[in-house]
Structure 1
């Protein structure tokens, strides 16, 4: 089966919005053992939509079309599909009744524009959308089924999970007997990881893939069939052994997610005192429900004055060593931990750039510390040739990794091949 995706919308094509729908869909399909073989992005122009529907339907077996089902004049997917098939639009009475009922129940006046969402190509099979006003539909053109979905992410995800996947499995007999194991790595480049894994002999029915999503690289092990699935745990252990300290989590998308789950289960508490990361450590954890059970506070102590008055950093320490130093970041971590008597505290202070660096401490120099009830661990790293955002993101990841290692009773500070570490 050849699966493709067509994404519509001027705002997507021009880069005004990031197409998170496409990334989510491709990743979900991969987890089901189905690879998206081509993705096309097209603007809100009738002739371009008609042309891409006709052209790709000659090559694909099934195409997910995302967007263009709304009530406005630039929502052209249904009309373009009708033109591509050479058939008229026909009002779907079932969806019109649904719209009228929805607006009535919500005490809202339905404009004439909303009725546009009930007009589908004559040969279309309507697809229910219980969480929105735009129904989906599917149409057969040439060799392909085109499956039309709304652009609203919540509506798309609901329709793909509830309608699209069952249709694909039924229509194409896709064997759902697949398994996926994800191994998250940090601090090492893809080429180095690949060189460590190349000697491994994978069983029949198992494949290995890489996904770079800075600051992480994810290793994906796909197993298809009972034999390969049975060997997946053993192969995963072999991969982890080959990668060593590069491995930071399994079946988690980020180090922040790994830290969240560990702290949530442990009953331990955490504070953060951030300078160059500017609240990034805290905000990534707050994204997870339940973080209030362990996250006590997040302090953005950006100025030297705030480091002194809020965290108790000694002015003399700042004068002697500067804000970006092991000595200062250790005092920041101790101060943050003691404020609410937390079990752990993370602290960062660095030069994210693009300006502010010196010969002694160039842009990308970051000091990071972890304070526990019994000790303080710290390191100074140099993150070279990276953007301001990536320096901050990598610094937060190093801090998370220090805490993860402490929670796992491992050495807190380790070497990363892609991040230089200064001696104290």
Structure 2
């Protein structure tokens, strides 16, 4: 099966928004053992849409089309498909009735423009959308089935899982049984990770892949076929042995997800005091439901005054060592932990840039501390030539990893080859 994707929308084409839908779809397909052959991005111009539908349908077996199903004049996917097939748009009575009922039950007045979402190409097969006002549809053109989905991520994901995957399974069947295991790493470049795995011998049907999503690099161990799947646990074990401390999580998208999983309903509590990370550590945790079971508070103590008055950092420490120092960040972590007697507390203070650095403490210098009831662990990392955002996200990742290692009763401070560290 040759599968392609067409992503529509001027805002996607021009880079005004990042096409997270395409990345999500590709990742989900890979987990099913299906590799996307090609992805095309096209704007909202009718002629361009018609051309790309006609052209790509000659080469693919199935094409997932995303976007352009809304009620406004620039949503042209249905019209373009009708023109490409040389047929009229006709009202789908079932979806019109669904729209009327949906708005009635919601206590809202339906705008006339919403009726446009019930207009489909004459030969289209309607595809239900249980969570939105835009139905999907599928149409056969030349060699391909074109399967149209809404651009709203939540709606796309429902339709992909509940409608698209069953359709391609029934129509084309899936490849051999597959299984995917993901290892999350920090502190190593992609080439360094590849070098560490050079001598590893992989059985037939097992492949390695790399995905950079800073501050992480994800290693995908993909097994195709029952024999390869049976070998996957041993291969995973061998990969982890080669990579050592580089691996920080398994089958998790981020270290924040890993920390949440370890703290949720664990009985442990966490407090956070942030300066340069500006709430990033805390916000990434509260993105997960249930974080209130362990998160006591997250404080953004950006100024020296707040460090003194909120966290109890001694003014003398700030005078003697400065805000970006081991002494200060240890006092911040200890102060944050003692407010509610938390089991753990993380603290960061650094120079994220692009300005503010000195010869002694250049941009990218960040102090990170973990306070526990038994003591405080700290380190000063060097992150030169990184963007402000990357300095902050790398600092948050290192802080998370210190906590993760403490939870596992491992050495809290380890070397990361791509992250420099100052000696105390």
Normalization by structure 2: what TM-score?
A: 0.98
1-structure distance, mates of 2:130, 2:399: 43
The residue aligned with 1:326 is 326
How far residue 111 of structure 1 moved from its aligned partner, in angstroms, is 3.1
How far residue 201 of structure 1 moved from its aligned partner, in angstroms, is 1.2
Correspondence 1:45 to 2:45: yes
2-structure distance, mates of 1:261, 1:114: 42
The residue aligned with 1:236 is 236
Correspondence 1:180 to 2:180: yes
Whether the 8 Å CA contact 1:366–1:381 is kept in 2: the answer is yes
Correspondence 1:112 to 2:91: no
Whether the 8 Å CA contact 2:63–2:144 is kept in 1: the answer is yes
2-structure distance, mates of 1:371, 1:310: 16
Q: Secondary structure at the match of 1:415?
A: coil
1-structure distance, mates of 2:339, 2:360: 33
Mapping 1:46-85, distance limit 5 Å: 46-85=46-85
Q: Secondary structure at the match of 2:37?
A: strand
The residue aligned with 1:340 is 340
How far residue 100 of structure 1 moved from its aligned partner, in angstroms, is 2.3
How far residue 176 of structure 1 moved from its aligned partner, in angstroms, is 6.2
Whether the 8 Å CA contact 1:185–1:248 is kept in 2: the answer is yes
Q: Secondary structure at the match of 2:264?
A: helix
Give the RMSD, CA atoms, in angstroms. Answer: 1.1
The residue aligned with 1:122 is 122
Encode CA deviations 1:171-230: one digit per residue, 9 max, x unaligned: 111136211101110100000000111211111111110010000000001111111111
The residue aligned with 2:14 is 14
Whether the 8 Å CA contact 1:32–1:176 is kept in 2: the answer is no
Correspondence 1:256 to 2:263: no
The residue aligned with 2:289 is 289
Whether the 8 Å CA contact 2:330–2:347 is kept in 1: the answer is yes
2-structure distance, mates of 1:298, 1:138: 48
How far residue 26 of structure 1 moved from its aligned partner, in angstroms, is 1.1
How far residue 71 of structure 1 moved from its aligned partner, in angstroms, is 1.3
Q: Secondary structure at the match of 1:36?
A: coil
Segment of structure 1 superposing worse, 85-94 or 321-330 = 85-94
Whether the 8 Å CA contact 2:265–2:293 is kept in 1: the answer is no
Whether the 8 Å CA contact 1:169–1:175 is kept in 2: the answer is no
Whether the 8 Å CA contact 2:265–2:294 is kept in 1: the answer is no
How far residue 168 of structure 1 moved from its aligned partner, in angstroms, is 0.8
Correspondence 1:405 to 2:415: no
2-structure distance, mates of 1:6, 1:166: 20
Moved over 4 A (4+): none
Gaps of 5+ in 1: none
How far residue 33 of structure 1 moved from its aligned partner, in angstroms, is 1.2
The residue aligned with 1:207 is 207
Gaps of 5+ in 2: none
The residue aligned with 1:269 is 269
The residue aligned with 2:373 is 373
How far residue 265 of structure 1 moved from its aligned partner, in angstroms, is 4.2
Encode CA deviations 1:234-270: one digit per residue, 9 max, x unaligned: 1100000000010001011111111111111421111
How far residue 13 of structure 1 moved from its aligned partner, in angstroms, is 1.5
The residue aligned with 1:169 is 169
How far residue 145 of structure 1 moved from its aligned partner, in angstroms, is 0.8
The residue aligned with 2:304 is 304
Give the paired residue count: 424
